Structure 1
């Protein structure tokens, strides 16, 4: 038996289609199209990716907060030196979290492995102040986060840290040293090994 649709279902499908088309036009005009092809951007439906385009383009591209970034970034987070941040386009959701701070210094990079989840209010920092002269920055150090990691809410990843794949960082942790072997849960301030996975 063929499924029958109601007028209301047709109406909502039409609205969804109009929103998706409008979001695609905005996306083409304001963002680099190579960032609009990940799993969050369906060519048929009004998915999360298109919703993020619509939520962020006015503040990001018209008002100008983080205008230079070529992909949708939440106005509730801060990204410094986007050119030094490397990630899989399928993980663009990591740039939609409120309160997060991704600071890639001019001489350092942030590498985020594919399939990694980063919660809200997370800080990833590649450079601190010089301890002898706080008005000067210390040299930057790369931060490497492996594939399929999970960085819990309110965590801080400090310069030079390397996390192996499938590292789980407990909420509120301050990660001051590397855990390159991965497959573990770390938590605390400073973060320590809780258990191996």
Structure 2
């Protein structure tokens, strides 16, 4: 995108986004780094997310009632049961993500990355009556977890800090110790990571 178009679009997003955010969201969700940090002053990516979300809610009736900016290509069920750090709003962008927090909570630790087409589900359908859900079981992701593309996190799972879930995995049980890579269906530990590992822009380093 040419720089002048980027500046014009960013300016419009900034002013329109500030107005829309007053009516759409809880204030705490627009205080994160995507509304604070920018290489070009007030041109911050978060305001673009607000504008995109507004048009999806207004014309497509998608994600109405979600108290934070979310891509119209994702879906959140029972958003009041989802807890995360405002600095990590990026996890609700992208596409194909499904957050279902029926009857329980989803808690996402600071610094987590969640790739496209990931499902996080607290309650399965009842095998006796598919119109109903089983009792919800809370899901907790520790800090600095990375959930790979096309993965599914099922009810009751707890992942410790620095857990990496390989692409396409189905996580059916907890790995509370963290510092590991899990993968497969059902997911199992395939590598233990150095506890002193660091996370830089979603790229993990460690032994």
TM-score normalised by the shorter chain: which range applies?
0.7 to 0.9
- Alpha-carbon contact 1:60-1:73 (below 8 Å) kept: no
Q: Are the counterparts in 1 of residues 10 and 44 from structure 2 also a CA contact under 8 Å? A: no
* 1:90 paired residue among 84, 87, 92: 87
Q: How does 1:146-157 map to 2 (within 5 A)?
A: 146-157=142-153
Distance 2:64 2:174 in 1: 33
In the TM superposition, what is the alpha-carbon distance from 1:100 to its structure 2 partner? 0.7
Q: How does 1:121-132 map to 2 (within 5 A)?
A: 121-132=117-128
Between the aligned partners of 1:100 and 1:16, the Cα distance in structure 2 is 26
Distance 1:31 1:162 in 2: 28
Aligned mate of 1:30, from 16, 21, 24 = 24
Residues matched between the structures, number: 189
CA shift digits 1:68-115 (9 cap, x unpaired):
11211111111000000011111111111211110001x211010010
Considering only aligned residues, what root-mean-square deviation do their CA atoms show, in Å? 2.0
Q: TM-score, normalised by structure 2?
A: 0.84
Counterpart for residue 141 of structure 1: 137
Q: Which moved more, 1:62-71 or 1:168-177?
A: 62-71
Unaligned runs of 5+ in 2: 194-207
Label 1:192 to 1:64 Cα distance change in 2 as closer, same or farther (>3 A): same
1:103 aligns with 2:97: no
> Could you list the per-position Cα deviations for residues 100-136 of structure 1 after superposition, in whole angstroms to 9, with x for gaps in the alignment?
110001x211010010000110000001122233332
Contact 1:149 1:165 (C-alpha < 8 Å) held by counterparts? yes
Larger radius of gyration: 1
How many angstroms does 1:10 deviate by?
Answer: 8.0
Which residue of the partner structure matches residue 68 of structure 2?
71
